[in-house]
């Protein structure tokens, strides 16, 4: 086991300890990064602090605006400088315009998601199991569940590697991780921790997303994520996942899908 991996594992143990002590703070990484997870239930948003900037990753649904704001104010002495969105689904982007105006900051999303965010409309992804397929089928007829419509953010700009490095430094990186949606991206810090959006969930021990437009692309994205040195994977639903657990589930899923 390399020195780097050992240090990542040690850090992860510290993370787990920190989580039991304080809900919001999840990790203190090297190179001056501090990462928090918000208390929102519908979507796990993350706050990354460096000595220069604070970046919010994802914004959750409209009804969780206050809880995300409270998490931000609990952990931040200063304002956020940018919002990065992992993909264009409404449960991640619905408050983008609100936070952009509240903090007078820019909002970024991958090029493939830009028009959807600017227009306030996304597609409901395909289900990967019988329940999620049923939910997808019912979306248009449930009056209180309008997944495909959200508050448009016309001022949004394109998220790329240059933007990520501008706000988070040279050791941060953006990679495309399609499958759940075609516009999904992940953000890596120090090649040690990855923010993966809905490329992975962590609900009741299940990591495989209940929704994905292209499952083959999703598995390829999992492979790409596992080919990094990252030891901790932060999904947008549920708690962070260790590499060990991710590898185990990846192998089982590959067998199940006969890939």
d(CA 249, CA 30): 28
Rank residues 50 and 177 by Cβ distance to Zn ion and give the closer one: 177
Strands 193-197 and 185-189, how do they pair? antiparallel
| Sites for Zn ion among residues 89-118 (CB under 5 A) | 89
**Could you say which residues in the range 34-93 bind Zn ion, by CB under 5 A?**
89
Residues recorded for the chain: 259
**Residue 243, token pair as written in the block:** 């590499």
Residue with tokens 């993370």, as numbered in its chain? 15
Instruction: Show Cβ contacts of residue 39 under 8 Å, excluding neighbours closer than 6 positions.
Output: 23, 24, 67, 70, 71
> Where does this chain touch Zn ion (CB under 5 A) — which range of 3-11, 25-33, 192-200, 251-259?
192-200
Closest contact distance (angstroms) between CB of 195 and Zn ion is: 14
Total residues at the site for Zn ion (CB under 5 A)? 2
CA distance 134 to 126: 10
Residues 112, 114, 118, 119: what is their CA dihedral angle, to the nearest 10 degrees? 0
Shortest Å, Cβ 17 to Zn ion: 30
Nearby residues of 189 by Cβ (< 8 Å), 6 or more positions away? 29, 31, 33, 35, 48, 168, 171, 172, 195
Output 12 or 90, the one with its CB closest to Zn ion.
90
Binding part of the chain for Zn ion, among 15-23, 69-77, 163-171, 193-201 by CB under 5 A, reads 193-201
For residue 53, the minimal CB distance to Zn ion (Å) is 25
Identify which of residues 54 and 219 has a Cβ nearer to Zn ion in the complex.
Answer: 219
Q: How far is the CB of 87 from Zn ion (least distance, A)?
A: 6
Smallest distance from Zn ion to CB 258, Å: 25
Give whichever of 190 and 198 is closer to Zn ion, judged by the CB atom: 198
Residue placing its CB nearer to Zn ion in the complex, 36 or 89:
89
Identify residues 194-233 at the interface with Zn ion (CB under 5 A): 198
Distance, CA of 54 to CA of 168 (rounded, Å): 8
Q: Which spans of this chain sit near Zn ion (rule: CB under 5 A)?
A: 89, 198
């Amino acid at each position: 086991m390399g020195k780097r991996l050992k240090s990542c594992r040690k850090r992860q143990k510290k993370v787990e300890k920190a989580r039991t002590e304080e809900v919001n703070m999840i990790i203190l990484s090297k190179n001056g990064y501090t990462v928090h997870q918000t208390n929102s239930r519908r979507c796990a948003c993350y706050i990354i602090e460096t000595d220069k900037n604070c970046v919010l990753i994802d914004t959750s649904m409209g009804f969780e605006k206050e809880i995300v704001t409270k998490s931000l104010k609990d952990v931040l002495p200063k304002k956020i400088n940018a919002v990065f969105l992992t993909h264009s689904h409404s449960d991640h982007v619905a408050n983008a315009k609100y936070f952009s105006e509240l903090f007078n900051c820019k909002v970024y999303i991958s090029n493939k998601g830009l028009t959807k965010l600017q227009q306030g409309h996304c597609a409901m992804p395909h289900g990967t199991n019988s329940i999620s397929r049923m939910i997808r089928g019912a979306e248009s007829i449930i009056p209180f569940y309008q997944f495909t419509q959200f508050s448009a953010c016309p001022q949004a700009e394109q998220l790329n590697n240059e933007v990520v490095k501008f706000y988070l430094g040279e050791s941060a990186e953006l990679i495309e991780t399609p499958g759940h949606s075609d516009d999904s991206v992940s953000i890596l810090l120090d090649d040690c921790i990855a923010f993966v959006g809905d490329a992975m969930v962590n609900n009741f021990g299940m990591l495989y997303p209940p929704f994905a437009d292209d499952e083959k692309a999703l598995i390829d994205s999992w492979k790409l994520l596992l080919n990094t040195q990252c030891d901790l994977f932060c999904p947008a639903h549920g708690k962070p996942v260790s590499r060990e657990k991710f590898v185990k589930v990846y192998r089982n899923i590959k067998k199940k899908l006969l890939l």
